[in-house]
Amino acid sequence: MAIYNYEVVVGDILVLSTGDQVAADGIYIHGNSLTIDESSLTGESEPVHPSADKPFILSGTMVQYGEGRMLVTAVGMNTEWGNLMAKLSEGGHRETPLQVRLNGVATVVGKIGLAFALVTFLVLIIRFLIIRFEEGFDNWKTEYILEIVNYFATAVTILVVAVPEGLPLAVTLSLAYAMKQMMKDNALVRNLSACETMGSATCICSDKTGTLTTNHMTVVKVCSAGYVGAADTLGSKVSEESKALLIETIFMNTSGDIAEHGSHSQALGSPTECAILELGLSLGGNFRKVRSAHRIIRSEPFSSETKRMLTLATLENGRFRSYCKGASEIVLNMCEYKLDGENKIAPLEREEKLQLENVINTFAREALRTLCIAYIDLDDAPVDEEELPKKGLTLVAIVGIKDPVRPGVKEAVSLCFKAGIKVRMVTGDNLETASAIARECNILTEDGIAVEGPAFRNWTPVEMGQNVHRIQVIARSSPADKLKLVEYLKSQDEVVSVTGDGTNDAPALHESDIGLAMGIAGTEVAKASADIVILDDNFTTIVNVAMWGRSVYTNIQKFVQFQLTVNLVALVINFVSACITGEAPLTAVQLLWVNLIMDTLGALALATEPPYKALMEKPPVGRKGNFITNIMWRNILGQAVYQLIVLWVLQFRGKEILHLNGTDADTVLKTMIFNVFVFLQVFNEINSRDMEKLNVFSTMFTNKVFVLVMLFTVVFQVIIVEFLGMFADTVPLSLIHWVINILIGFVSIFVAFIIKFIPVPSKPFTEFLPWNKRNEEGTEYSPLPSSDLV
């Protein structure tokens, strides 16, 4: 009786046939060549053959071939699919490591700015009251109220300048620019903050199939007619007769097909069938011609019980030929003859069989999946119920099939290790195959360990703590293993990136700091759970994403260094001047223009700096790294000291040094102080392009946005000084004054050059604070008791 999917209950027996979608989790009862496609759930393209040893069938999968019956054991949210969906709904919005750091920086800077603004206002009011008290309050004037209002405006302006409201703009601009550029590198960013989070990544937990490998099975080695070696050279090493026989046995005994697209032929079928068919095509075979020359009488498809495929066909001479293909250890034992180098059939001696077994073992150690191809000629065709012969076969070839490593993966993995990013392979393959591929990709090193999923999930907390950081390969893993690994690494303050393509990878993608889904092989559920979609399924693209993430992080650091320098100088110069002279050297309008320079324009200029390879030569920042480094503090304080000295000298000795006389001397001096201050920031913005290298002009002119921002700032500064005097409290300056102002600003380039020779401690300065110092045993004092991992 046919019922709807939602009417299925536990205990029902479902009849499965080709094309059905499994509606519930269940246990295989019996069937005929039942083949299940689990790619929508696991992302693996190799079909599954349920049997008594592997009886579980999962909901959401498709019946690719055959028919069978299963006992329903779970429905709805209790199925594997339902559990995955429930895990995806857990958790909420999490702040990225950079957001946490920026929130701390913004809070501290804002509080300091507020304190300076209040103190400045109080100092100005106290000075005003002292002066008024000396003059007496009897002659109170209306102008005094305006003076107090100006004091308040100055304090508010200091607060506005101090508060880093340009920080969100810089972050957004940098992320948006990186997002647009990453699209050109085959990375589609779904979550904007993932751009910078990838820059802090300390480890990548990667799939094998389709990410590290091509997800295209290929015959790479062959043993046939006395030849043992690469499949590419097989055609030139064996006779034409041997080659024709191998082509015939390949094309006649297959469940796949060949689609002709003009001059191009495409193999269709399972990955293994496609690999063998492509070998036949590479040898010059014509699929349609071979199949038309023979008539297939009977076929026994591959099953997990027999582990072989048999096909009976007619020959042109009226005889019959039974073709056999299957697991090497089974088919080789069925063979009593071999095909020698002269295309002659010779008995297969015991010593020769041992040599062939060594060939199979050698292929297996190289992570190759081995298959034997054989045949037997018959005078009469077996009757319908009679089994096809399973003895006396002639061995034609042993093939080694492999999913090759993608080009560039080895170099990309090596670059990750050089950058301090640990790469771990988490795969469903067996331990031998996974380890071999990991070694080929340079993932598995001498000090690393490879472990199987069942052993990993049974580790105690102590074993987990001892071994998890040495894990480089987890084979035979389940989705729960990948999720457990991610959760533990995050508990150890690692910033974890996870790749996945199957629906069962969705919880790990969702839980990780950066989820990377495969754009080609990935399911829609995996893509929806990911932060970034890798459009070409290539691990090299993931490394490019990490480099862009580090570029975003570094660009924001550059902007913060530039902004904090302006903040520090503006706050100190106004505060000290207010305390000494009773007025600020920079007016509210001038400070707001400076604020525009350091916020909007500074963010636009520094946030669009492109990445460079040297970024991948530094260790990752991680989750606990300091955002403002010692190098940044050195640059900030060095430039701030130079700028403060220049501005104070101009303010208190400017008239004598510049020989300013006349009634407008004070106005000219204030204009020059404002002009010098702006040009100091312009050249300091150039200094901020690189926090460590001496040559800050390298590739500057290739960044058109940066050059345009610099030109706009300089041109508009000229307009403000020369033409907007009434608005900005400035007067036009002479050519010599302009030259002096620009030269003073340009000197900051040399100051930065000298500052970069000053060594800085490798440890962040916060570690030298009393509550962060280490005791004699090397452990850190902590206000909170440590607890064991549970």
Q: Could you read off the pLDDT of 141-167 as tens digits, one per residue?
A: 677 788 888 788 778 877 777 777 777
Interstrand relation of 62-74 and 13-17 (parallel, antiparallel or unpaired): antiparallel
Is 771 a residue whose pLDDT tops 70? no
What 8-state DSSP symbol labels residue 423? E
| pLDDT band at 770; cut points 50, 70, 90 | very low
- Stretch among 149-153, 446-450, 599-603 having the lowest mean pLDDT: 599-603
Torsion angle (degrees, nearest 10) of CA 747, 752, 755, 759: -170
CB count within 10 Å of CB 292 equals 9
Is 26 a residue whose pLDDT tops 80? yes
**CA dihedral over 481, 487, 491, 493, signed as positive or negative:** positive
Q: Could you read off the pLDDT of 339-355 as tens digits, one per residue?
A: 887 778 889 888 889 99
For the segment 535-562, the average pLDDT, to the nearest whole number, is 88
Token representation of residue 383: 């009757």
Q: What pLDDT is recorded for position 251?
A: 93
| pLDDT band at 335; cut points 50, 70, 90 | very high
Amino acid identity of 70?
M
Q: Could you read off the pLDDT of 270-326 as tens digits, one per residue?
A: 888 899 999 999 998 889 899 888 888 888 888 767 788 899 999 888 889 999 999
- Between 498 and 577, name the one with better pLDDT: 498
Mean confidence (pLDDT) of the chain: 83
Long-range contacts of 641-648 (CB under 8 A, 24+ apart): 642/747, 642/748, 642/751, 643/565, 643/569, 643/677, 643/680, 643/684, 643/748, 644/569, 644/572, 644/573, 646/676, 646/680, 646/744, 647/569, 647/573, 647/585, 647/673, 647/676, 647/677, 648/573, 648/576
How far CA 319 is from CA of 236, 253, 254, 700, in Å, comes to 30, 17, 20, 79
Q: What pLDDT is recorded for position 764?
A: 59
| pLDDT band at 389; cut points 50, 70, 90 | confident
Contacts of 586 (CB under 8 A, 6+ apart): 570, 573, 574, 594, 673, 674, 677
Q: What pLDDT is recorded for position 83?
A: 75
CA distance 287 to 258: 7
Contact present, 405 and 367 (Cβ < 8 Å): no
For the segment 749-774, the average pLDDT, to the nearest whole number, is 70
Q: Which string of DSSP letters, residue by residue, matches 60-86?
A: T-EEEEEEEEEEEEE-GGGSHHHHHHH
Q: What pLDDT is recorded for position 93?
A: 54
Torsion angle (degrees, nearest 10) of CA 38, 39, 45, 51: 0
- Between 708 and 113, name the one with better pLDDT: 708
**CA dihedral over 86, 87, 90, 96, signed as positive or negative:** negative
Is 777 a residue whose pLDDT tops 50? no
What 8-state DSSP symbol labels residue 21? B
For residue 340, indicate whether it is catalytic: no
Q: Could you read off the pLDDT of 10-21 as tens digits, one per residue?
A: 999 999 988 888
Rounded to two decimals, the pTM is: 0.73
**CA dihedral over 469, 473, 476, 477, signed as positive or negative:** positive
| pLDDT band at 787; cut points 50, 70, 90 | very low
| Residue owning tokens 């990878």 | 505
Chain centroid to Cα 650, Å, comes to: 51
Percentage of residues of the chain with pLDDT beyond 70: 91
Percentage of residues of the chain with pLDDT beyond 90: 19
For the segment 22-37, the average pLDDT, to the nearest whole number, is 87
For the segment 611-635, the average pLDDT, to the nearest whole number, is 84
- Between 44 and 600, name the one with better pLDDT: 600
For the segment 234-258, the average pLDDT, to the nearest whole number, is 89
Is 711 a residue whose pLDDT tops 80? yes
- Between 183 and 151, name the one with better pLDDT: 183
How many CA atoms are closer than 13 Å to the CA of 526, on its beta-carbon side? Answer: 25
Active-site residue, selected from the candidate residues 207, 513, 599, 690: 207
How far CA 158 is from CA of 487, 583, 589, 639, 723, in Å, comes to 45, 13, 11, 20, 25
Q: What pLDDT is recorded for position 574?
A: 77
- Stretch among 364-368, 454-458, 588-592, 646-650 having the lowest mean pLDDT: 588-592
- Order of all β-strands in the sheet with 13-17: 13-17, 62-74, 25-37, 56-57
Token representation of residue 728: 């900005």
For the segment 118-142, the average pLDDT, to the nearest whole number, is 76
For the segment 193-203, the average pLDDT, to the nearest whole number, is 85
Q: What pLDDT is recorded for position 94?
A: 61
